[in-house]
Amino acid sequence: MSIGIHDISAATGSLVFPLADLADHQGIDVGKYHRGIGQTEMSLTTEDEDIVTMAARAVAPIIERHGTDGIRTIVFATESGVDQSKSAGVFLHGVLGLPNNVRVVELKEACYSATAALQFALGIVARRPGERVLVIASDVARYELESSGEATQGAAAVAMLVSEDPSVLEIEPVSGLWTDDVMDFWRPNDRSTALVDGRYSVQVYLEALEGAWNDYREGGGADYSTISRVCYHQPFTRMAAKAQQRLDRIATDGSAPEVDRLDGTTQYNARIGNSYTASIYLAFLSLLDNGPDLAGERIGFFSYGSGAVGEFFAGTLVSGYKEQLRAGHLDGMLEERRLIGYEDYRLRHIAFDRVGDFATADESTGDVRFAGVTEHKRLYERR
Ligand code: HMG
């Protein structure tokens, strides 16, 4: 029996802020962003969007196509949770109108947890092959204004339906694992923006890649020559290029790579920014949508979450997967985003931390909106 990703869909925030405007206001050459970190824009959320509304938007086409039969588990991965106790997945369960006989949980380990969610989903389906699991990765990536991470902010959600006999990707059982207790990036409970030691985080990311790759190979993982592309966690797309260079060096005898294993994987992330847990699966969706037909080929995945955890695994693209894709769906959403200027961007950043009861302006474009807070309870409504 093969198990893996049967369907995948994504959504992003309704606003876009170009990095050229940020560079302009900082008085620096935009080349630092466009070429230096490989980012052109960042997606931002409106007041009435959050990780739940983006998740609802990502999952809607999957439910429209496959229905909800057999979905008895939702695993919601995020590091920008909206409640300290209740899973964002339960809010999602509510707005989707799913039946009660579903288990729902939220997972956290920085940008890595969607990969844990995927692994848990594979385990559930292995035990109960008729069941399907909804894996959600949804995040709003926020740093302080004028901090080193500011240019890498972003927002997006990816939803994946995991089942037996998947139509998109069959995931292999071998995984390479790596964990180390470090402080490269973190967000204490009293902050809505992350703290980061930027250069150190890049170094730890590369160490994690090397550690996870070595563990993958020692555990019987596939030879590098059989892996045709690698999807990386992309806090910024140049990070993936640095990682690819490192892997080319450690996984080969040093000879020049015959294929560019990043090809096709960076288009969405360059326009969205960091989307934490969703980022690696946006890289995968970018490959599916923008790459050539790679049916039958093995794809590697390197998932990284600061703090820090890394995992390398692989899967094979299923014959006919291209027919399952929604051509132009995410590109359309990216084009539809409303362009905002520097002042608006700053004001929204400052206004993000609202407390007490409030109602939000109706300004997002998805079917589900975050209406505000009443008596400390978050309210979501369908349009
Ligand atoms: P910085 O230190 O301001 O930038 O921010 P820099 O001076 O290192 O420049 C960046 C690159 O642009 C350099 O290239 C420059 O040479 C180049 P590199 O040496 O890296 O190849 N550059 C230019 N190129 C062309 N034209 C120019 C120009 N000027 C400069 N005019 C930093 C970089 C990564 C520190 C910052 O973006 C940051 O703090 N980001 C947030 C942290 C981050 O993303 N870390 C990545 C690894 S950790 C991770 O992935 C986990 C994370 O997603 C969180 C989670 O797990 O939840 C963050």
Report pLDDT digits (tens) over 304-330: 999 999 999 999 999 999 999 999 999
- Both tokens of 102, joined, read 């579903």
Average pLDDT score over residue span 287-296: 98
State whether the beta carbon of 304 lies less than 6 angstroms from ligand 1. Answer: yes
pLDDT at 199 over 80: yes
Cβ(23) – ligand 1 distance below 6 Å:
no
Question: What pLDDT does 91 receive?
Answer: 98
**Domain match, 297 and 256 both:** yes
Average pLDDT score over the chain: 97
Cα separation of 268 and 61, whole Å?
A: 18
Ligand 1: which residue has its CA nearest to atom 53?
A: 235
Query: Does residue 148 have a pLDDT over 90?
Result: yes
Q: Evaluate if residue 256 carries a pLDDT over 80.
A: no
pTM (predicted TM-score): 0.98
pLDDT band at 257 (very low <50, low <70, confident <90, very high): confident
- Cα–Cα distance between 61 and 330 in angstroms, integer? 11
Cβ count within 10 A of residue 287 = 24
3-state helix, strand, coil in the chain (%, to 5): 35, 30, 35
Band the pLDDT of 259: cuts 50, 70, 90: confident
Q: Does ligand 1 lie within 6 Å of residue 28's CB atom?
A: no
Ligand 1 centroid distance, CA of 153 (Å): 12
- Among 274, 296, 320, the domain-final residue is 320
What is the residue range of 293's domain?
170-320
pLDDT-based confidence at residue 47 (cuts at 50, 70, 90): very high
Answer yes or no: do 223 and 190 share one domain. Answer: yes
CA of 139 to the centre of ligand 1 (A): 20
Q: Measured between alpha carbons, how far is 313 from 227 in angstroms, rounded to an integer? A: 11
DSSP state of 32: I
Which of 295, 320, 345 is the endpoint of a domain?
320
pLDDT tens readout for residues 75-104: 999 999 999 999 999 999 999 999 999 999
Overall domain count for the chain: 2
Q: Are 103 and 191 contained in the same domain?
A: no
> Is the Cβ–Cβ distance between 293 and 319 less than 8 Å?
no
Asked if 354 and 337 touch (Cβ cutoff 8 Å), the reply is no
Question: Does 84 share its domain with 179?
Answer: no
Q: Give me the mean pLDDT over the 181-193 stretch.
A: 96
Range of lowest pLDDT (59-73, 189-203, 247-261): 247-261
Which of residues 272, 301, 320 is at a domain's end? Answer: 320
**Residue 242 CA: which ligand 1 atom is closest?**
21
**CA separation for the pair 348, 343 (Å, rounded):** 9
From the CB of 166, is ligand 1 less than 6 Å away?
no
Q: How confident is the model at residue 43 (pLDDT cuts 50, 70, 90)?
A: very high
Task: Identify the band that residue 353 occupies on the pLDDT scale cut at 50, 70 and 90.
Answer: confident
Q: Which residues contact 351 (CB under 8 A, 6 or more apart)?
A: 47
pLDDT at 255: 78
Q: How many CB atoms lie within 10 A of CB 91?
A: 25
pLDDT computed for residue 98 by the predictor = 93
For the Cβ of 235 lying below 6 angstroms from any atom of ligand 1, the answer is yes
CA of 101 relative to ligand 1 center, distance in Å: 45
Amino acid at 192: S
Pair 107, 177 in one domain: no
**For residue 151, how far is its CA from the centre of ligand 1 (angstroms)?**
9
Q: Quick check: 253 pLDDT over 90?
A: no
Task: Tell me which residue of 145, 160, 136 sits closest to 44, measured CA to CA.
Answer: 145
Mark whether 179 and 306 lie in a shared domain: yes
pLDDT of 131 over the 80 cut: yes
Same domain, 188 and 313: yes
CA of 198 to the centre of ligand 1 (A): 7
pLDDT, average across residues 55-68: 97
Beta bridge partners of 17: 42
Count CB atoms within 10 A of the CB of residue 145: 12
* Same domain (yes/no): 103, 205: no
- Is there a single domain that holds both residue 288 and residue 308? yes
Inform me whether the pLDDT recorded for 246 exceeds 90: yes
Q: How confident is the model at residue 254 (pLDDT cuts 50, 70, 90)?
A: confident
Report whether residue 196 contacts ligand 1, using a CB cutoff of 6 Å.
yes
Considering the domain architecture, whether residues 252 and 154 belong to the same structural domain is answered as no
pLDDT at 295 over 80: yes
Query: Averaged over 147-164, what is the pLDDT?
Result: 98
Residues 37, 106: one domain?
yes
Q: Are residues 276 and 377 in the same domain?
A: no
Averaged over 211-220, what is the pLDDT? 98
For the packed helices 113-127 and 279-290, what is the interaxial angle rounded to 10 degrees? 70
Please tell me the distance from the alpha carbon of residue 180 to that of residue 133, in angstroms, as a whole number: 29
CATH of the domain at 47: 3.40.47.10
Point out the residues that are catalytic. 79, 111, 233
